[in-house]
């Protein structure tokens, strides 16, 4: 059975009601449009359900040292860069781009305390644009491990994404693999890691949240 994320319950319910009403109306009218409409609307309903699916993913090996992938998608950036919002120093950036067919649930990459959480309104540049990390609508969440080591996770809206959902508040306890948010209709997630992190993924690698390990941080 497909699990639907709570952010999609209204969308899925509304789409199902519209589908049933139109099909029933056309059936009552004995219209020749019944089957074409049923097929087209059925495909659209499937796409809505597919987008808001929330597959159960259990982290195979819970570890303080491992940074798990926070989202499904493709790795589009692995580079050393200057993080200007929180750390204000150089970090290793790993970015995962989510297309509309990917699971759009965002999950905590490791466990710790949420030491920083900010929402920033902004533009809706395509998610792979270099300036999307600093100019697009986005949320920034920093998670502090029990030894004081911190990583930063940034949810970035894309050209189609018009709403970022983030549940993290400062002082919250983040549990590795638990849901921390959702981005609707195409997006990207950036991770900013310590420079001594051992990266476990490569450019263009297709990854899954809670399944693939992004890096090891000692």
Instruction: State the Cα–Cα distance between residues 51 and 16, nearest whole angstrom.
Output: 14
Q: What percent of the chain is predicted at pLDDT more than 90?
A: 63
The mean pLDDT of the chain is 89
User: Structure tokens of 60?
Assistant: 């195979």
pLDDT tens column, 148-171 = 999 999 998 865 555 788 999 999
- In 3-state terms, what secondary structure has residue 153? strand
Supply the residues annotated as catalytic. Answer: 187
> In the chain, where does the domain assigned CATH 2.70.70 lie?
66-216
pLDDT tens column, 88-145 = 999 999 999 988 888 889 999 999 999 999 998 866 565 555 555 666 788 999 999 9
| Residue 70 CB contacts under 8 Å (≥ 6 apart), including other chains | 96, 106, 107, 108, 109, 153, 180, 189, 191, 209, 214
**Residue 113 burial (CB < 10 Å; 0-12/13-18/19+)?**
middle
CATH of 66-216, one of 3.40.50, 3.30.60, 1.20.120, 2.70.70: 2.70.70
DSSP-derived letter for residue 123 is B
List the end-to-end C-alpha distance of the chain, in Å, as a whole number: 39
């Amino acid at each position: 059975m497909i699990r639907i994320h709570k952010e999609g319950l209204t969308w899925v319910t509304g789409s199902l009601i519209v589908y049933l009403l139109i099909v029933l109306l056309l059936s009552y009218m004995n219209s020749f449009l019944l089957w074409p409409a049923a097929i087209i609307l059925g495909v659209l309903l499937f796409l809505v359900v597919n987008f808001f699916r929330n597959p159960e993913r259990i982290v195979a090996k819970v570890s303080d040292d491992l940074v798990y992938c926070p989202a499904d998608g493709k790795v589009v950036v692995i580079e050393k860069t200057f993080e200007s919002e929180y750390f204000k120093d150089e970090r290793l950036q790993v970015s995962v781009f989510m297309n509309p067919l990917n699971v759009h649930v965002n999950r905590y990459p490791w466990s710790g305390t949420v030491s920083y959480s900010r929402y920033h309104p902004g533009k809706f540049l395509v998610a792979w644009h270099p300036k999307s990390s600093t100019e697009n609508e986005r949320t920034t969440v920093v998670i502090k491990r029990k030894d004081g080591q911190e990583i930063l996770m940034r949810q970035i809206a894309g050209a189609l994404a018009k709403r970022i959902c983030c549940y993290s508040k400062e002082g919250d306890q983040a549990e590795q693999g638990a849901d921390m948010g959702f981005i609707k209709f195409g997006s990207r997630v950036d991770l900013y890691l310590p420079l001594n992190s051992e990266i476990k993924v490569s450019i263009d690698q297709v990854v899954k949240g809670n399944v693939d390990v992004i890096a090891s941080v000692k």
